[in-house]
Amino acid sequence: MKKTSKGVEIFDGKHKRFGGHSQWLSRLTKLDYLFIQFGWWKPSYDHEWYDGQHHWLSVGPIRVCWGGKPFKDAN
């Protein structure tokens, strides 16, 4: 987990050399990232597809962001 100026990064599946952390959570959930941000947003849910799935769920002062590129099976 990393604190940022806007919130908390629960995990980021990037390689540690490039600032990634908690890769085991990324593999477990099959997501590239999970962030919680603090601010003030209208209640909303957004979803976009660009190089993978990206989701944002905003409720009052909290926004949860998750998604990323789909993992390929090793089989």
pLDDT tens profile 13-59: 666 665 566 677 777 888 888 999 999 889 999 999 888 889 999 99
At 61 the pLDDT is: 94
**Rounded CA separation 71/31 (Å):** 8
The answer to whether position 73 is within a domain reads no
Instruction: Report whether pLDDT(74) > 50.
Output: no
Question: Full-prediction pTM beyond 0.75?
Answer: no
Give the separation between CA 43 and CA 72, rounded to whole angstroms.
33
Distance CA 19, CA 24 (A): 15
Residue 75 lies in a domain: no
Q: Is residue 44 part of a domain?
A: yes
Print the domain residue range for 62. 2-68
Per the DSSP assignment, residues forming a β-bridge with 48 are 54
How many other CB atoms are found less than 10 A from the CB of residue 51? 8
Residue range 6-19: mean pLDDT, rounded: 71
Total structural domains within the chain:
1
- Asked if residue 50 belongs to a domain, the reply is yes
What pLDDT band is residue 9 in, cutting at 50, 70 and 90?
A: confident
